[in-house]
Amino acid sequence: MTDEVRSAARRMYAAFNTHDYGAVEEIFTADFYSHPLGTTGPESVAWAWQRFHEAFPEVQMVVEDMVVERDSVAVRTSVRGVPGQQPPTMLEIFRVRNGCIAELWGLSSLQRG
């Protein structure tokens, strides 16, 4: 189970970093829920990623730490490519079901202006 959970998180960051919005259908469950955004479904993820990439076209999420426990993974990332800031840090926790991300919680030090 831990390899499947770790793999889901790695696929998600790889898709984000390569702007692969179509991959969300394979990475997230149909009933995916984002607690920080209060949104559901893979299409909400693609929309959020597109908006983020429009604001920061060079952005990259660099995984610094990843801890897997049962069906969940906690990931600390550095957010590179955000001008005028020390690289912000994000902490995200994903719950994985059948190899896909079903739920997300997150915190970020990203300053939004």
Q: What is the pLDDT of residues 59-85, one digit of tens each?
A: 999 999 999 999 999 999 999 998 886
CATH number of the domain that 32 lies in? 3.10.450.50
Domain count across the chain: 1
113 within a domain of the structure (yes/no): no
- Mean pLDDT calculated for residue range 49-64: 96
Q: What is the pTM of this model?
A: 0.93
E strand spans, 1-113? 28-34, 39-40, 60-69, 72-80, 89-97, 100-108
65 within a domain of the structure (yes/no): yes
| CA-derived radius of gyration, the chain | 13
78 within a domain of the structure (yes/no): yes
11 within a domain of the structure (yes/no): yes
**How many alpha carbons fall within 13 Å on the CB side of residue 103?**
6
49 within a domain of the structure (yes/no): yes
67 within a domain of the structure (yes/no): yes
57 within a domain of the structure (yes/no): yes
- Mean pLDDT calculated for residue range 22-37: 97
**Which range of residues forms the domain containing residue 84?**
2-108
